[in-house]
Amino acid sequence: MQRELGITFVHVTHTQLEAIAVADVVVVMEQGRIEQAAPARDIFLAPRNAYVARFIGGQNVLSGAVERVVDGCALALTGTGTRLEIPIGPAPLAGGDTVFASLRRDRVAVRRPATGETSRDLLNSVSGEVHAIENQGSYVKVTIDLGDGEDFVAHVLDENYFVDPIDIGEHVIASWPASEVRLLEDGRAASAPRRPQHAVAA
């Protein structure tokens, strides 16, 4: 209908996939405040803050305290002892600052740890127990309990997952390259957000 009439439509929805599918521009709002307005692909690839990253889906949100900044990367330590390497560009961060970052679920590799190995031995890795496995056709959704009240999710290509399938209850390490981590603007909504007021698709 929109193509036939050739006019602008404003479509208000609570469904993230619907907004991404139909929109040229997506506006994510919370309590009447615009959190981000951008083309749908830009919102997915580059969410502005933790609220948008969690709302739009497909992302893990990570947080930690900066230990030091080296060559444009912040080295941060999470509350569970995970060491993160986060590209920060020109952002003015220093030791002691709290940082928040997003990581796409389809950029994560999942494997069984070697004997005695833990994620604390590695950069950009988390470890935990698998508590859900969902076959989504082209990929498998693996949900990992980090033991701190947070879940970490990986979308593993089916062709990789079924080479050596992981079972619920197994202890695994999930890891990713630093280049896939995006610094978020702030951590104001880093905990699970309230139901968003709107995603407006235009």
Q: Return the pLDDT at 32.
A: 87
Query: How far, in Å, CA of 176 to CA of 189, rounded?
Result: 23
pLDDT tens across 31-77, in order?
889 999 999 889 889 999 999 998 888 999 999 999 999 888 999 99
- Say which residues have a Cβ less than 8 Å from residue 17's Cβ, sequence separation at least 6: 57
pLDDT tens across 112-156, in order?
998 888 777 788 999 999 999 999 999 999 999 998 778 999 999
Give yes or no on whether 2-104+180-201 and 109-175 have one common fold. Answer: yes
pLDDT bin (cut points 50, 70, 90) of residue 1 is low
Per-residue pLDDT at 79 exceeds 80: yes
pLDDT tens across 12-34, in order?
766 777 777 777 888 888 888 99
pLDDT bin (cut points 50, 70, 90) of residue 196 is very low
pLDDT bin (cut points 50, 70, 90) of residue 175 is very high
Query: How far, in Å, CA of 72 to CA of 91, rounded?
Result: 9
CATH topology of domain 2-104+180-201: OB fold (Dihydrolipoamide Acetyltransferase, E2P) (2.40.50)
Q: Return the pLDDT at 85.
A: 93
**What top-level class would CATH report for the domain 109-175?**
mainly beta
| Bridge partners, 140 (sequence order) | 135, 156
Per-residue pLDDT at 201 exceeds 80: no
pLDDT bin (cut points 50, 70, 90) of residue 11 is low
Locate the domains of the chain by residue range.
2-104+180-201, 109-175
Q: Return the pLDDT at 187.
A: 43
CA distance to 28, 85, 194, per residue, from 54 (Å): 11, 20, 10
Per-residue pLDDT at 189 exceeds 50: no
Query: How far, in Å, CA of 110 to CA of 120, rounded?
Result: 15
Specify whether the CB–CB gap between 34 and 28 falls below 8 A.
yes
Query: How far, in Å, CA of 54 to CA of 56, rounded?
Result: 6
Per-residue pLDDT at 194 exceeds 70: no
3-state secondary structure the chain: CHHHHCCCCCEEECCHHHHHHHCCCEEEEECCEEEEEECHHHHHHCCCCHHHHHHHCCEEEEEEEEEEEECCEEEEECCCCCEEEEECCCCCCCCCCEEEEEEEHHHCEEECCCCCCCHHHCECEEEEEEEEEEECCCEEEEEEECCCCCEEEEEEEHHHHCCCCCCCCCEEEEECCHHHEEECCCCCCCCCCCCCCEEEEC
Mean pLDDT of 96-122: 89
Better pLDDT: 79 or 109:
109
Q: Which residues of 51-88 are buried (b: 16+ CB within 10 A; e: fewer)?
A: bbbbbbebbbbbbbebeebeeebbbbebeeebbbbbbb
